[in-house]
A and B are shown apart, each in its own frame.
Chain A
Amino acid sequence: MASSDVSVDVRPEFNSFDHLRSIRYIATDRPWLTLYGIRVQPVTPFSSLSSRPDLALIHQCLPDELLFEIFARMSPYSLGRAACVCRKWKYTVRNPTLWRNACLKTWQRTGMEANYQMVQSLYDSSWRKMWMLRPRIQFDGISSRRILS
């Protein structure tokens, strides 16, 4: 009886103490420390087609939507010429809203619904193509068809 009491008392105490002590000295994992001192270079954003900055004052002052606002006030012929000025203008002129307005204005008599059906069925839903290909009355009264090269 006495010997069994002694053995039971000693062993649990020894185990718990040893357990606590071992926990204190276990090294924790710190993976981020492997990056200490290493400089990570930020990824360069995709550069534009031209490496030089755009020097045009109109592009510095006006965002794209305001450039579009100016183009919305121009005739289709002016738009076609504007597309030849620079790349930015070329892409801005491609906006289908500009050509839709041009078509609906040129062929008002046909009616809006008929124009919408026509652009979808005959011109691959492209207002620009419709404006270039569809016969229309010129200012001199001659009807002509444009060739899309």
Chain B
Amino acid sequence: AKVISFRERARERERERVRVSQVMATGNGEAAVVEKEGEGTMVPEALEKKVVLDAAEKEEEEKDSEAEAEAEARISKLVGDMIDNVCADHGIPLPKVDIKTVRKMAEYMNKHFAITNKEELKIWDEGFINELDGDEDKYSLFKIIRASERVGFYGLLDLASDMVARKIKAGKAIDEIRKFLGVEKDFTKEEEEKIRRENAWAFEE
């Protein structure tokens, strides 16, 4: 219960940040100065200043970081906190996150900053997460979930977790779920019979 309430508070803070960013974005080309209690002062330089997200793992001949506008990067709680505490000047290290995942997260940040219409954003989210789900081994999807949780990027965490949950729900047969996620059956025969009997009600939906 404590963890859940903490997460919900973090999500509210995230929504607040997004609102602040959106207000700045819709200033008809001019950046507006917005002050909010507890959030500190957002200044116009936030739109110009770049924040570097450093990937811990990189492939050969790939660049190892992505530059983000500060206002966009603030969508992530961890990045926002680091910026507020003046720790972002030399790049923000994202531990155990590869460059491909960082690039995907940056893409998500950019879109959520640029698009203010909620319906349009929802449609884009669906396409984005379906593209991730298209990877054959689901590796990208799981990496996004992992990285989003580490960075406090709860919007993306919700989106990706929902996708996996939907997939599990869609697989009506147990073997289908195992096949989809590559999970091996480690029940004995008696164990499986018992667990099936215990949860027979679940197959009646």
Contacts and interface: CB of A to CB of B under 8 A. Distances in A.
Interface stretch (A20-28, A72-80, A117-125): A72-80
A6 interface: no
A55 B184 contact: yes
Interface in A57-99: 57-59, 61-62, 66, 69-71, 73-87, 89-90, 97
Interface in B136-180: 137-139, 142-143, 145-146, 149, 157, 161-162, 164-165, 168-169, 172, 174, 177-178
Interface string B192-205: 10011111111111
Contact of B183 (A58, A83, A97): A58
Contacts of B157: 69
A66 B169 CA distance: 17
A57 B136 CA distance: 12
B183 A85 contact: yes
Dominant secondary structure at the B interface:
helix
Interface string B1-45: 100100000000000000000000000000000000000000000
A105 interface: no
B60 interface: no
Contacts of A79: 202
B177 A85 contact: yes
B177 A81 contact: yes
Q: Give the size category of B's interface with A.
A: 35 or more
B175 to A, nearest CB: 9
Interface in B35-87: none
A49 B137 CA distance: 26
Given A58-B183, A61-B143, A62-B142, A73 B165 contact: yes
Q: Which 4 A-B pairs have the closest CB atoms?
A: A80-B202, A61-B142, A73-B165, A80-B199
Interface of B: 1, 4, 137-139, 142-143, 145-146, 149, 157, 161-162, 164-165, 168-169, 172, 174, 177-178, 181-187, 191-192, 195-205
14 contacts: A57-B137, A57-B142, A57-B182, A62-B142, A62-B146, A66-B161, A75-B169, A78-B165, A80-B201, A80-B203, A82-B168, A84-B195, A84-B196, A149-B200
